[in-house]
Structure 1
Amino acid sequence: MSTLKVTAEVLTVHEHPNADALELAQVGLYRAVVAKGRYRTGDIALYIPEQAVLPEALIEELGLTGRLAGSAANRVKAVRLRGELSQGLVCLPAALKGTDLKAAAEEGTDFAGQFGITKWVPPVPTTMSGDVESAPDLLPWVDIENLQRYPHIFEPGEPVVLTEKLHGTACLLTYLAAEGRVLVSSKGFGGKGLALKEEERNLYWRAVRAHGVPEAAARLAARLGATRVGVFGEVFGAGVQDLAYGSDARTTGPGYAVFDVSAEIDGQVRWLDPAALLDGELPLVPRLYEGPYELGTVLELTTGRETVSGREEHLREGVVIRPATERYSPVTGGRAIAKAVSPAYLTRKGGTEYE
């Protein structure tokens, strides 16, 4: 998941190809459907992204009662309106009257708190939860921002790697070399500094044990001379999410694929290339492209069929983009890494979105 920020944005307005009374307001690479004539290119308005949960009063003011997603009809979700993908909401609530929107846009002011907008937290099925314990030594995962919101993370021509983004649940494993101890967590629990106690029915522990992840992490720590090694993988299959990649977590066991590795070496945590370190030792997420960064290539590979099963069983969720050489990004204020998500995935029917 990416971070939630509700910001003032400069709009670029496009014609809606299939509706005379609608237009498309562009923010970054996102486009949101708006009423025709409401905004003009260069106007500044509030942008509320997907996965935002709105308070009832704001929903009513925006005329969206009963029209949003979720059991409470209060969550912003990607939809198709007259054939065009609409991601997020563009609006000017009355509470913004008198606000210097130009300054707010330049400063990146976050209005989420002012409007009582929160980030949607997916439910956690019982197989993905369990008893937890404090784990201050757990190596955490980071939120990945969406390339469509921040299109300038990468420079044109910069060497990048694109891997397939899988629809499962993120599993965090940290190997502590001094103790020979393993910590296992989910992204949600890991973000709170908690690890899951080992239990044979727990999905994450079943996955790492079945695929030999603790042993591979121990070998990697010895090779690198690392005090801690973090192995981050996606757990997937029927019984986990609606996209199964040919695996059944309930019968034959959960599928697993590594998407990232970190290691603490000489007191410094570094992000490393999983393919260079674990190819042949652990399953890896498919690598779809290596070469110069070009937006058209990214968008083309974002859509299509999955490649994990080898049988193209269902649609692809999207891709993750990272530089060939790990670096800092002033755009994100952290790692230079981003995701791009398929429109077909966003608007599929009957999809599950568990943590």
Structure 2
Amino acid sequence: MSTLRVTAEVLTVHAHPRADALELAQVGLYRAVVAKGAYRTGEAAVYIPEQAVLPAALIEELGLTGRLAGGNRDRVKAVRLRGELSQGIVCRPKALAGVDLARAAAERTDFADLLGITKWVPPIPPMMGGEVEPAPGLLPWVDIENIHRHPDIFAAGEPVVLTEKLHGSACLLTHHAEDGRVQVSSKGFGARSLALKEDPRNLYWRAVRGHGVAEAAARLAERLGARRVGVFGEVYGAGVQDLTYGADGRRDTLGYAVFDVAAEIDGTVRWLDAAELLGDELPLVPRLYEGPYDVEKVLEFASGRETVSGRELHLREGVVIRPAVERHSPVTGGRAIAKAVSPAYLTRKGGTEYE
């Protein structure tokens, strides 16, 4: 998931091709369906992104009672309205009536706390949970921003790599070279510097032991002369999420694929090319494209059928975009990395979103 920020944005308004009373308000590459005439191109309004959870008073104010997602009907989710994909909510809440939204847009002010908006946190199924312990030395995974919200993370023509984004659950492993200690965690627990104690019933430990991830990390640390090595992989299959890729998370056919590697070398944590370092030792997420950055090409690759199983069993979740040479991004304030998600994935029925 990306970070949650509720910001003012300068809009570009488009006609809705299938509804005379509706229009499309564009924020970055996102488009949200709005009432015709409510906004004009160049005006600023508040944009509430997907996965935001709204308080009841704001839901009522916006006329969205009973129309949002989740058991409490309070979560923002992508929907199709009169055939057009609508992602997020564009509005001008009464609580911000005295705020200069154009200035707030320029200053990137975050209104989430003021409006009482929080980020949705998926529930943790039993096999993804377990007994945890403090893990201050764990190498955590990072939140990836959506290219639709921040299309300027990459420059046109910049060499990039697109890998398939798998719909599973992120498994974080940190190998400590000094004492050979291994820490295993999920994305959610890892963000809180917690590791899961080893348990043969736990999804992540089963993947680590079943695929020899700890041993591969130890060999990599020795080759690199690294103090710590982090191997980040996606665990997938039936029982993990609704998209299975032909694997079964409840049995020995549990799927696992590495999507990133980090190593602490000479006191600095560096992000490295997983394919170059572990391609002969561990399964990897499919690499779909290498070449110049073009946002239309990215969106094209984000849709289609999955390639993990080799049988195109179901839709593709999307892609992850990285520069060919790892670099810092002034847009994200951290790594230059982003995701693009398939519209079909966003609007599928019966989907699960466990971390």
TM-score above 0.5? yes
Residue 125 of structure 1 corresponds to: 125
CA contact (8 A) 1:78 1:347 kept: yes
* Aligned residue in 1 for 2:163: 163
C-alpha separation in 2, matches of 1:231 and 1:172: 6
1:87 and 2:80 are equivalent in the alignment: no
Cα shift readout 1:307-336 (whole Å, capped 9, x = no counterpart): 000000000000000000000000000000
Q: Which runs of 4+ in 1 moved over 4 A?
A: none
The CA distance in 1 between the partners of 2:260 and 2:180, in whole Å, is 21
SS at match of 1:206: helix
Once the two structures are TM-superposed, the CA of residue 22 in structure 1 deviates from its matched residue by 0.4
Indicate the residue corresponding to 1:209 in structure 2. 209
Q: Structure 1 CA distance, aligned partners of 2:188 and 2:39?
A: 38
Match of 2:264 in 1: 264
Task: Indicate the residue corresponding to 2:324 in structure 1.
Answer: 324
Aligned length: 355
Q: What is the CA–CA distance in structure 1 between the aligned matches of 2:260 and 2:344, rounded to whole Å?
A: 25
- Are 2:71 and 1:71 equivalent residues in the alignment? yes
Query: 5 Å matches for 1:122-201?
Result: 122-201=122-201
Q: Deviations over 1:6-49 (max 9, x none)?
A: 00000000000010110000000000000011111011100000
* Contact kept in structure 2, 1:54 and 1:117, CA below 8 Å: yes
Q: Distance in 1 between matches of 2:352 and 2:121?
A: 13
Give the distance between the partners of 2:96 and 2:5, measured in 1 at CA: 16
Q: Find the aligned partners of 1:296 and 1:196 in 2 and give their Cα distance.
A: 40
Aligned counterpart, 1:241: 241
Q: SS at the partner of 1:104? A: helix
Deviation at 1:114, TM superposition (A): 0.3
Taking the aligned partners of 1:96 and 1:202, their CA distance within structure 2 comes to 46
Other structure's SS at 2:58 match: helix
| Partners of 1:267 and 1:11 in 2: CA distance | 44
Report how far residue 95 of structure 1 moved: 1.3
**Partners of 1:310 and 1:236 in 2: how far apart?**
15
**TM-score (normalised: structure 2):** 0.99
The offset of 1:254, in angstroms, is 1.4
Q: 1:184 offset after TM fit, Å?
A: 0.1
1:96 CA drift (Å): 1.2
Contact 1:207-1:253 within 8 A present in 2 as well: no
Distance 1:342 1:47 in 2: 21
Does structure 1 conserve the Cα–Cα contact (< 8 Å) formed by 2:43 and 2:102? no
Deviation at 1:251, TM superposition (A): 2.5
SS at match of 2:151: coil
Per-residue deviation, 1:66? 0.4
For residues 184-233 of structure 1, give each alpha carbon's deviation from its aligned partner in whole angstroms, at most 9, with x where no partner exists. 00000000000000000000000010000000000000000001000000
CA distance in 2, matches of 1:90, 1:19: 18
Q: Distance in 2 between matches of 1:9 and 1:344?
A: 26
Residue type at the aligned position of 1:176: H
Match in the other structure for 1:19: 19
2:98 & 2:140 partners in 1: Cα distance? 41
Q: Distance in 2 between matches of 1:300 and 1:241?
A: 24
Letter of the 1:167 counterpart:
H
Q: Deviations over 1:101-137 (max 9, x none)?
A: 1110000000000000000000100000000000011
TM-score, normalization by structure 1: 0.99
After superposition, what is the alpha-carbon deviation per residue over 1:50-85, rounded to whole angstroms, capped at 9, x for unaligned?
Answer: 000000000000000000000000000000000000
Match of 2:341 in 1: 341
| SS at structure 2 position matched to 1:253 | coil
**Counterpart-to-counterpart distance in 2, 1:199 and 1:180:** 18
CA RMSD of aligned residues (A): 0.5
Specify the alignment match of 1:291 in structure 2: 291
